[in-house]
Structure 1
Amino acid sequence: MTTLQNRPRSALLVIDTQNGVLAGAHDRDGVLGRIAGLVERSRAEGADVLWVQHSSDELPLGSDAWQIVPELTVGEGEPVVRKLYGDAFEATELEDLLAARGVGRIVVAGAQTDACIRSTAHGAFTRGYDVTLVSDAHTTEDLTPWGAPPPAEVIAHTNLYWGFEAAPGRTAGTATASEVSLSGSGPA
């Protein structure tokens, strides 16, 4: 039901699954296992897989911290979008890549829940995409020393409010990795 014309396809967007981002992530191995399964299913079902890699002072371009974790492999022909901002659409080619593939719905997985996951999901939704957040395939680090809730609560809260996101002409929602549709439309 996306508001984007002639964009019937779905794509899996794997955000910031990088060594430096996931070093202290909550349920790191479980989340990475579920993301790996989503990537395999997307490829098997013919859904596009796009990867996002963040660069910053803490994640210098080309450094070990910047590299995608060894548990995940970018497939041949799968684009890697390099970004400098939380929203993967800001100052990148992501929109052009999705448009060229006829994608009007994105399925979001990766890190960090309270930063780039949230920013990109909102960015996609305000740009007219249908957005499904994979509820058990995103994670964050422990930021409680800076006043944030514990990671499990950040993840649960993000899943809760994303399940109620609404706007004219598009859908939002959550689904677990095992129940998410990678080739259809709508929240599941």
Structure 2
Amino acid sequence: NDNCSCCLQSPLLTITITADSLYNITNLVSDIALRVSFAATWNAVIVVKDADHFLESQGLRHRDHVNTILRQFESDDSISFWVSSTCNEELLTRFSAVVNFPELDAAARRRLWLNHFGLNNPAAIMWNNEHTLIGSSIADQKEMDHSLLLRDIEKLSRHQLDGRMIDNIVRSA
């Protein structure tokens, strides 16, 4: 997300739609409208996370709310990214561009897990795997813990999970 904002030299405004927020759809619609107007004022890039909750068809009344919000995004001429793994084909026509990403392979999942554990620097991982301080039981214990963490990440990477599932697991832990 930060990379996108940095490339466009605009602030980033993230909107997360949870399943709970759908219980009061009227408040959700007004909240999103307010945030979209802020984004237009700030010339911000909007990322709508977990858009599946909102975009999935849940009846005619809900579809009206979806259309109202999408019109709000169109009228404010904002740049927005809607993160969704499934979407109604009819709704896709409302977006200027749709990018389909392939499923994550084990290497991509490993990178996500490493990032969540703050191990996104490959050089540091290699250094930690190759160097231990002899005669220091604290350093040896840290090295052993680090090796166990890397082994666990390797095991986790084998599971067919998408990025959102990995994020949710980390947030829930």
- Relative to its length, the structure with more strand (as a share) is 1
Q: Does the TM-score normalized on the shorter chain lie above 0.5?
A: no
- TM-score range (shorter-chain normalised) is 0.3 to 0.5
Q: Which has more radius of gyration?
A: 2
Q: Which has the higher contact order (CA 8 A, sep 6+)?
A: 1
